[in-house]
Structure 1
Amino acid sequence: MKTKRRNALHELLLLNKKLKGTVVNESGVPVLMVDSTIGSGQVNCVNLEEGLMAFEFDLTLNTDHELVMDWVESDQVCLFYCLKGNCFHKFYGHQVVTKLEELQTAVVFNDQDHKTKLIFKKDEHLVFNCIRINLKEYKNQLEEQSDTLTALLDSYDKTKGNLHVGKFNLEIGELIKKLENAKFADSIASLSYFNGVCHMILAKQIEQFQEDIEKGIQPATTLLKKELEMITELTDYINNYPEAPHSIDAISMKSGISPSKLQLGFKFMHDTTLGEYIRNVRLKKAEELIRNTDMNISEVVYSIGFTSRSYFCKIFKNKYNCSPKTYKKQVDGRPVKKEKKDV
């Protein structure tokens, strides 16, 4: 037990060079506490066995932070799971960025040329679980491991420098929640329970990865940095010119990005479709015009790019819980009568 805790302490001290904080002991267990200047939270680490480490990041940061997992020189397989919040993954020195969403699994194969960079976004409460397999150390134990783990590690040679984003998995999330009661385990029995749950998480991750491979499920589509930059420019364009004819085909032609990549990009950056984003921008602009100008409702509708007053009134009421006419009367301070038809 002492050796495992010493190994965990060593990992956290190495991690502390990347993520500013202080390594302390809580109930005899080493924990990395994040410095208040960059946010709040902690990182826990448990050495399950030789070559097998489990990390839990429970963080809320004040600024975006990039963590390059390069303190282990050997080739690795990392099994990721976001219990709360989202983060982003890319290989250091490469352009492709992939979003890791809440309750979603991911398997990452790292080598000398493909070192994982995790990107944590500011003001996002993130609970992120990582089980890291050090191949150089762990392959010595393969004879004692299950066929599924052997298959995963054997597949490494075919998938170097690859990220496989799997399905959403609630079962793994429930297992991770069980770790809370044993996080600061001090007895052999409690630590054995903690290790047992971690191994169950490992087994479920591997099981899903194998199932995805057998069914031919491909890794999630990713976006290049230049495509993300273009999505950012398009976002600004839509915000500044909500009245423009923002059809998907027109925006695709303007940006040189395919319609499917546009939808992926807006879902990736704004967690909504392109059409929903345009509609929300127009509704926000309409609310500002109703509140701050003397324009009538029809003038507002057509000035922001809508072609149907009835459709505008419907979605406005869904968002603001009253019709545009009622909203304007409330803003003007006039008495509001019950409307027969809220359009």
Structure 2
Amino acid sequence: MLRLREESPLDMLRQFSVHFDGDLLENLGAAKMSIENENGIGYISLYEILPGLTSWIYNINFTKDLVINMNFTDDKPYYFGYNISGYQLQKFPKDEDYKKIRQGQNFVIISKPNSSSEFIIPGNIDYKCCYIIINPKLLKKSKISSKLKLVQDLAESFKLDKENEPFRYFGDIDARIGTYADIIVENERTDIIGRLITEGAILRMLGSQIEAHEHDSNSDNFKPALTKSELSRITYIGDYVLENISEKVSIDEISLHLRISPKKLQSGIRFLYGYSANEYLTRLRLEHSKELMHSTEMNISEICFAVGYQSKSYFSKIFSDTFGNSPSVFRKSYEEANLLYDISYRSLAVDSIDGKDVDNIINIARSFNPQFQITGSIIFHRNIFFQIIEGPKKEVLALFKNICNDRRHKDIQIMWQGFKIKREFNNWALATISDEGVLKVDIQGNTKNLELSNLLGKLDKSAMDSENLWRKVRTIIKVNSNNSAA
């Protein structure tokens, strides 16, 4: 049984990854856990459209029944779902028997605060399901009017008889919702383009689910006017635009590149994303500008030109219209919120490095990190460094730049970087983990619970530079760090 703590969707996916020994790939606003082992084959992924609105996707075949005991918080999130393939069972504590959620069925579950629910996903079936997880408390913090209206619409649509009791709605088989759910599940990308594909389908699927609940009737079968091959080609529009992001790209130029007529191109964009072609191109540029604000120290003017706009005032206007704040206010909000920045990287140590060098690196880091409010964890194993650094963005980026210029490191690969709300290493100026027998620096924090020895100790040297391995290490540390810190 997987005992799942209801936290942020990303934290929950990390728990899945540790439980199934999965490979968790994290990007800004998206993540994907893949498995191909004795536990099953397939993936579970998520996309955060904005704080409080996330999609959770199963496309997986487990080797045996997965029983999940879900412990809910007091946030009372909404779980909208649709089973594309396979089925699942669900039970609240007061239920005598499990309720079956059928293939093709639309469902909504709202939890009782500080209670639990059990879910069973049968083994040896191809299970495809899309959840939309909505946290009204987080959505209410948004300044975007459309998101605030969504909270109001949900409250009006789901007028619960008893506010603190669990709620469950199993609707009819609904082909229209299934069309959008299928787009979400089959989209394996976790980059900007993947997020926009998913965002458009999520919002349309959510609208259809609310409508289905209100009318409690079958929707008309809904099919796009384009073939699956044509829709697949249209999903590559984002790659082409990003490759030429600083240039003005026309619809005719994109149409020629994708070998599809302008009319079909615009129709396909409208179906996939819910935007006109020009609106989609604008949204793609603005999403990329947000990533540059997250991951670089470029100023707003530099970002404006980098994403293809020549007028800073026009860029600021459309950014404000889309996200509710100007670019400068958006960036400043991260600083005022005291959000932390996180970089996880893996590097190879040069052949000449020895235990004294590693001791020196760690001692210097522990001496300087506290004054810059930097905490984290480092592993040195078989001449490989793996480090997680967290703290104020400016200081973290400056430290990472120094690491990149340090000749004792080579072949540096970033596993993840981005903002987060809370510190995961508390007072660890630098927690160390090693089985090399050369380090003399005392281990800081109780790392016994991390159980990395089985993961690291049995690997030969050729496997040590695997990105898959170090993503697993990062996930284990993230899941356990709060419990194991001194």
User: 1:171 is matched with which residue?
Assistant: 176
Aligned residue in 1 for 2:100: 99
- Aligned counterpart, 1:21: 22
CA shift in 2, pair 1:203/1:156, >3 Å: farther
Give matches, 1:25-104, under 5 Å.
30-34=31-35, 36-70=37-71, 74-92=75-93, 94-104=95-105
- Give 2:16's aligned amino acid: L
Contact 1:54-1:198 within 8 A present in 2 as well: yes
Checking the alignment, whether the CA contact within 8 Å between 1:76 and 1:110 is kept in structure 2 is yes
Q: Deviations over 1:229-255 (max 9, x none)?
A: xxxxxxxxxxxxxxxxxxxxxxxxxxx
User: Out of 185, 195, 200, which is 1:196 matched to?
Assistant: 200
Report the secondary structure of 1:69's partner residue. strand
**Can you list the C-alpha shifts for 1:28-81, whole angstroms capped at 9, x where unaligned?**
952112351211111011111111111111121111111223375522211121
Q: How does 1:251-266 map to 2 (within 5 A)?
A: none
Q: Are 1:209 and 2:210 counterparts? A: no
CA offset at residue 184 of structure 1? 0.7
Match of 2:439 in 1: none
Give per-residue Cα distances to partners, 1:72-129, cap 9 Å, x unaligned. Answer: 5522211121000111111257533100100001111102354332201111111011
In 1, the alpha carbon distance for the partners of 2:134 and 2:19 equals 20
Question: Which structure has more helix as a fraction of its residues?
Answer: 1
Distance of 1:19 and 1:70 partners within structure 2: 19
AA partner of residue 203 (structure 1) = G
Q: Determine the C-alpha separation between the residues in 2 that align with 1:28 and 1:138.
A: 16
For 2:38 and 2:90, locate their aligned partners in 1 and report how far apart those are by CA, in whole Å. 24
Q: Is residue 108 from structure 1 mapped to residue 120 from structure 2 by the alignment?
A: no
Amino acid at match of 2:183: K
Which is higher, the Rg of structure 1 or of structure 2?
A: 1
> Structure 1: how far apart are the matches of 2:182 and 2:81?
15
Q: Check whether the contact 1:182–1:190 (CA below 8 A) recurs between aligned residues.
A: yes
CA offsets 1:241-279 (integer angstroms, 9 cap, x no match): xxxxxxxxxxxxxxxxxxxxxxxxxxxxxxxxxxxxxxx
TM-score by length of 2: 0.38
After superposition, give the CA deviation of every residue in 1:167-193 in whole Å (9 maximum; x if it has no partner). Answer: 10011111122235644152x455333
2:399 aligns with: none
Instruction: Give the Cα separation in 1 of the matches to 2:117 and 2:124.
Output: 22
Q: 1:31 to 1:146 in 2, by over 3 A?
A: closer
Residues 1-343 of structure 1: pairs in structure 2 closer than 5 A: 9-17=10-18, 19-24=20-25, 30-34=31-35, 36-70=37-71, 74-92=75-93, 94-112=95-113, 114-141=115-142, 143-145=148-150, 148-152=153-157, 154-155=159-160, 157-158=162-163, 160-179=165-184, 182-186=187-191, 188=192, 190-212=194-216
Structure 2 counterpart of 1:178, one-letter code: I
**C-alpha RMSD of the superposition:** 3.2
Distance change >3 Å, CA 28–CA 51, structure 1 → 2 = closer
Q: d(CA) in 1 for partners of 2:151 and 2:137? A: 18
Unpaired runs of 5+ residues, structure 1, are 1-6, 218-343
**What is the aligned-residue identity percentage?**
17
Give the C-alpha shift of residue 131 in structure 1: 0.9
State the TM-score, normalizing by the size of structure 1: 0.52
Structure 2: distance between partners of 1:199 and 1:164: 19
Q: Does the Cα contact within 8 Å between 1:79 and 1:106 map onto a contact in 2?
A: yes
